[in-house]
């Protein structure tokens, strides 16, 4: 069901509350935020649209997990500072989410002003989807725009509850996410490939169930590949195996074979004698030659190149999960090779899931080379699993 979009909401001259997702690293100050500001940049089109409409733009976001209490280290003022730089205009920070201070600050706003409220999760009513908190949040504004796709899978006061009190619509970021992921899921140009990695098979069960029969190619790397390789009878050393997912892995491979879907697993892997960023010893071996006590840390450069070659024949690629322990530089090469190969393809739709995959693409400087990089890890995964996202379901139909 199509949901109301921003251009279908009367925002001209109105006080507009926008739920954004500014949950970014702040422990290294402004410099750290500037390195990982994809989520801020992604919502700029919505903010600028509202400014052009003469709206008074009131932004709200969470940051971290303060569990309903005020945590000084999780205030949003630094994020507001970075946003002001990106917008090239002032952003006023209010150290409250609701109450007289907020009402006063909003009443003083002029057309085109931007205001950032304090961390929503300082209030216990946020994650409880408390109606009274949602009502207070809505009390100083005229309408609501949902532009935080990364939390659209959460039924919180600022994502779902608030739509009961205000005329609402999805912002340009959420609209782009829904349309890009929806096309990849429902009407992809074929051949269609899923490139899956990350730590665990269990994280991708519903995704595989929902996607498998639509695929032409399934590529599996990262920690996921360990369980799949083990299911095929290969020794995987000391690497963590999801014993309770071995049968599922075999079923996926059987279903893929029956549907003529090509499954790609690494032929060679990078191994280490300890699971550490700087282990005592590393090697590259065939998947059948992993010694006891050693850990699979990455797919090998040769296997990454094989993945890249096969991906070059696809027209749509859905990527969720790195190919190795990407956060350890020694074991980031497989992800880097595959990412650079995907980024270099022309005439191909590349949809990158959020979370660690988006962070890897951002770190590699390849954001603008992908068709769509999702801002939401859990949300993009649940969308591709075919689940309804509460923060989108709560919006009125178009």
Residues with a catalytic annotation lie at 39, 200, 355, 378
Taking alpha carbons only, the member of 224, 222, 229, 223 closest to residue 288 is: 229
> HEC string of 205-253?
HHHHHHHHHHCCEEEECHHHHHHHHHHCCCCCCCCCCCHHHHHHHHHHH
- 284: which strand partners? 270
User: Cα 107–112–116 angle (5° rounding)?
Assistant: 65
In DSSP terms, which residues pair with 299 in a beta bridge? 269
Nearest to 251 by CA among 208, 215, 217, 299: 208
Are 231 and 355 in contact by the 8 Å Cβ rule? The answer is no
C-alpha distances in Å from residue 107, one per residue of 10, 54, 136: 19, 15, 15
């Amino acid at each position: 069901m199509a949901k109301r979009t921003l251009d279908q909401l009367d925002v001209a001259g109105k006080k507009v509350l926008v739920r954004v997702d500014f949950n970014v690293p702040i422990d290294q100050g402004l410099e750290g935020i500037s390195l990982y500001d994809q989520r801020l940049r992604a919502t700029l089109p919505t903010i600028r649209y509202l400014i052009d409409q003469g709206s008074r733009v009131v932004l709200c976001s969470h940051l971290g997990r303060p569990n309903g209490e005020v945590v000084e280290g999780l205030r949003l003022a630094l994020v507001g500072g970075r946003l002001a730089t990106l917008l090239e205009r002032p952003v006023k920070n209010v150290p409250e989410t609701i109450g007289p201070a907020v009402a006063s600050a909003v009443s003083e706003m002029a057309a085109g002003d931007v205001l950032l409220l304090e961390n929503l999760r300082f209030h216990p009513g946020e994650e409880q989807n408390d109606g009274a908190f949602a009502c207070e949040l809505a009390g100083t504004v005229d309408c609501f725009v949902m532009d935080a796709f990364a939390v659209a899978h959460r039924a919180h006061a600022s994502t779902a509850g608030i739509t009961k009190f205000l005329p609402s619509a999805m912002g340009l970021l959420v609209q782009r996410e829904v349309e890009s992921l929806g096309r990849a899921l429902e009407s992809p140009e074929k051949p269609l490939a899923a490139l899956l990695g990350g730590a665990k098979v269990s994280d991708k069960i519903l995704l595989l169930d929902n996607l498998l029969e639509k695929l032409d190619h399934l590529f599996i790397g990262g920690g996921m590949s360990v369980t799949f390789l083990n299911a095929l009878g290969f020794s995987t050393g000391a690497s963590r195996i999801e014993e309770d997912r071995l049968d599922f892995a075999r079923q996926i491979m059987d279903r893929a074979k029956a549907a003529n879907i090509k499954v790609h697993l690494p032929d060679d892997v990078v191994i280490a004698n300890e699971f550490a960023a700087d282990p005592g010893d590393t090697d590259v071996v065939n998947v059948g030659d992993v010694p006891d006590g050693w850990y699979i840390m990455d797919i090998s450069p040769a296997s990454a190149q094989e993945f890249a070659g096969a991906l070059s024949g696809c027209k749509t690629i859905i990527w969720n999960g790195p190919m190795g322990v990407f956060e350890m530089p020694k074991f980031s090469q497989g992800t880097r090779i595959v990412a650079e190969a995907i980024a270099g393809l022309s005439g191909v739709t590349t949809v990158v899931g959020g979370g660690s995959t988006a962070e890897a693409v951002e770190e590699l400087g390849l954001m603008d080379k992908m068709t769509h990089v999702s801002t939401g890890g859990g949300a993009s995964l649940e969308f591709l699993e075919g689940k309804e996202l509460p923060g989108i379901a709560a919006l009125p139909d178009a």
